Homo-oligomer: A and B are copies of this chain.
Amino acid sequence: MALLSPSRRLRRTPFSEGVEAQGVSAYTVYNRMLLPTMFESVEADYHHLKQNVQVWDVSCERQVELRGPDAGRLMQMLTPRDLRGMTAGQCYYVPIVDETGGMLNDPVAVKLSEDRWWISIADSDLLLWVKGVANGYRLDVLVDEPDVSPLGIQGPKADDLLERLFGPTVRDIRFFRYGMFDFQGRQLVVARSGYSKQGGFEIYVEGSDIAMPLWDALFAAGEDLNVRAGCPNSIERIESGLLSYGNDMTEHNTPHECGLGKFCNTHTAIGCIGRDALLRVAKEGPVQQIRPIAIDGDALPGCDRAWPLFANGKKVGQVTSAAWSPDHGINVALGMVRMTHWEPGTRLEVETHHVGMRPATVQEKFWN
Q: Would you call A5 and B27 a contact (CB within 8 A)?
A: yes
In the complex, which of the residues B126, B128, B130, B136 contacts A126, with contact meaning CB atoms closer than 8 Å?
B128
Cβ distance A195 to chain B, nearest Cβ, rounded Å: 14
Q: Would you call B32 and A5 a contact (CB within 8 A)?
A: no
Q: Would you call B2 and A26 a contact (CB within 8 A)?
A: yes
A355 / chain B contacts, CB cutoff of 8 Å:
none
Cβ distance A176 to chain B, nearest Cβ, rounded Å: 24
Q: Would you call A246 and B135 a contact (CB within 8 A)?
A: no
In the complex, which of the residues B5, B134, B244, B306 contacts A1, with contact meaning CB atoms closer than 8 Å?
B5
Q: How many copies of the shown chain assemble into the complex? A: 2
The 0/1 profile, CB within 8 Å of B marked 1, for residues 222-257 of chain A is: 000000000000100000000011110000000000
Q: Is A79 an interface residue (CB 8 A)?
A: no
Cβ distance A316 to chain B, nearest Cβ, rounded Å: 18
Using A2-B25, A32-B123 as known contacts, say yes or no to A320 and B8 having CB atoms under 8 A apart: yes
Which residues of A from 15 to 46 have beta carbons under 8 Å from B? 24-30, 32, 37-38
In the bound complex, how far is the Cα of B59 from the Cα of A35, in angstroms?
23
Which of A7, A302, A306 is the most central at the interface, judged by chain B CB atoms within 10 Å of its CB? A7
**Which of A's residues lie within 8 Å of B, judged by CB?**
1-10, 12, 24-30, 32, 37-38, 98-99, 104, 123-126, 128-138, 234, 244-247, 273, 302-306, 320-321
Pairs A-B, 9 closest by C-beta atoms: A136-B136, A132-B132, A9-B246, A125-B125, A6-B304, A29-B29, A4-B4, A128-B129, A5-B37
In the complex, 15 of the A-B residue pairs with CB atoms within 8 angstroms, ordered by the A residue number, are A4-B4, A4-B26, A7-B28, A7-B302, A8-B247, A8-B321, A9-B247, A10-B29, A130-B132, A132-B132, A132-B134, A133-B136, A134-B136, A135-B273, A136-B137
